[in-house]
Amino acid sequence: MTSKKEECFIIMPISDPEGYEKGHFKHIYADIITPACEKAGYQPVRADDINDTNMIHLDILKRLLDTPMAICDLSSRNPNVLFELGLRQAFDKPVVLIQEEDTPQIFDITLLRVVDYRQGFIYHQVIEDQNSIAEAIKSTKEATENKEGVNSLVKLLSLSKASTNEIQQTENNPMLQIVLAEMDAMRQELRRVSRNINQINIIERGTNIADHFERPQHQLAHLKDNFKQVKNSCLASNSHRRKKKGIELCHEIIRQAKLASFDEELPSSIRKEYKNLIASANKLIDNMPMTSIPCILEEDENA
């Protein structure tokens, strides 16, 4: 009889954020995160897996603070995700940070370790990403057992960790109701502050709201035009060097499109166009695997 695995709490978006295809993070959870946890010897559990009690919010809070391991996906820069990460950090609980490749840097603390995964769902890349995350989980567990901090702001900044008394699982606990209400209020405040910061940044750049929306449209048109030229050039040539350069340019287009699409003030239609451009660039890269391009072309090397 096999022993029950320890749980690993997964902090990530549950619903589909704007700018992502329907079911995107469900696929990330099922195809990358879950296998990685199992390889590291943990049972993954996400907030929407917790349905065995009427006090769902309480159970989620207890799992967030009590599970011996956690993974936090920073990809969408989701306020709820960052709020839950902050709670986990406050109590100095081990957490593995992951994000989609080319996600803009969120934290200025360079000592935090973040594992990148790729979004193309190419088989060998998925396996590699699973293994990378599994190794990060194992190393984080080992460091925790040795009293060393991995991604621990408490240890990195020499802070005192938070403490809490045992939370009673009773629906009539007035203190618990106050805590839950305060948590909801803090989430709302975090969203409001995030929106205000975006507006302040717009004003400081000397632009108005119309200019703010117009600029991404111009950038989108510019990136689309660049992608069209790269695509036509690569498809019209058998040059190894040109295809390699095309792949590099596609990655740069993807990077710039992702940076632009993270602006929460963008209309959903523009964000969707950025997402479609990213998908098209990834598709072009997938259709030009370097392993299928001849590596020795005398006329190309001498060009």
Which has more pLDDT, 39 or 251?
39
Residue-level pLDDT at 289 = 56
Q: Which residue has the higher pLDDT, 247 or 209?
A: 247
pLDDT of 68 > 80? The answer is yes
Cα–Cα dist 297/295, whole Å: 6
- Residue-wise pLDDT tens digits, 230-240: 888 877 777 77
Whether 88 has a pLDDT exceeding 80, the answer reads: yes
What pLDDT is attached to residue 199?
55
Over range 139-153, report the average pLDDT.
79
CB 84 within 8 A of CB 64: yes
pLDDT band at 296 (very low <50, low <70, confident <90, very high): very low
> What pLDDT shows up at residue 292?
41
* b/e 124-149 (16+ beta carbons within 10 angstroms → b): eebeebbebbbebbbebbebbeeeeb
- Which residues are paired to 46 by β-bridges? 10
Q: Does residue 98 have a pLDDT over 60? A: yes
Closest to 257 in 3D by CA, of 244, 270, 245:
270
From 273, 224, 276, 229, select the one nearest 253 (Cα to Cα): 224
Cα 145 from Cα 134, distance rounded (Å): 17
Query: How large a percentage of the chain has pLDDT more than 70?
Result: 66
The pLDDT tens digits for 5-18 are: 899 999 998 887 77
Query: What pLDDT, in 10s, does the model give residues 149-203?
Result: 666 665 655 555 555 554 444 445 555 565 666 666 666 666 666 666 555 554 4
Q: Looking at 52-61, 104-113, 266-275, 283-292, which range is the least confident one?
A: 52-61
- CA dist., res. 168 & res. 298, Å (int): 74
pLDDT grade, residue 33 (50/70/90)? very high
Structure tokens at 164: 């809490």
Which of 112-121, 197-206, 237-246: highest mean pLDDT? 112-121
Q: Annotate the chain with three-state secondary structure.
A: CCCCCEEEEEECCCCCCCCCCCCHHHHHHHHHHHHHHHHCCEEEEEHHHCCCCCCHHHHHHHHHHHCCEEEEECCCCCHHHHHHHHHHHHCCCCCEEEEECCCCCCCCCCCCCEEEECCCCCHHHHHHHHHHHHHHHHHHHHHHHCCCCCCCHHHHCCCCCCCCCCCCCCCCCHHHHHHHHHHHHHHHHHHHHHHHHHHHHHHHCCCCHHHHHHHHHHHHHHHHHHHHHHHHHHHCCCCHHHHHHHHHHHHHHHHHHHHHHCCCCCCHHHHHHHHHHHHHHHHHHHCCCHHHCCCCCHHHHCC
Cα Rg, the chain, nearest whole Å: 22
Residue 167 to residue 53: CA distance in whole angstroms: 15
Q: Residues of the chain with pLDDT > 90: what percent? A: 21
Q: With 90 as the cut, is the pLDDT of residue 300 above it?
A: no
Whole-number pLDDT of residue 205: 47
Q: Supply the mean pLDDT for the chain.
A: 76
Q: Quick one: pLDDT at residue 41?
A: 95
With beta carbons less than 8 A apart as the criterion, state whether 11 and 72 touch.
yes
CB 136 within 8 A of CB 96: yes
Binned at pLDDT 50, 70 and 90, residue 60 comes out as confident
What is the per-residue pLDDT for 174?
Answer: 56
| pLDDT, mean of residues 80-85 | 87
Cα 277 to chain centroid, rounded: 19
- Per-residue pLDDT, averaged over 256-274, amounts to 79
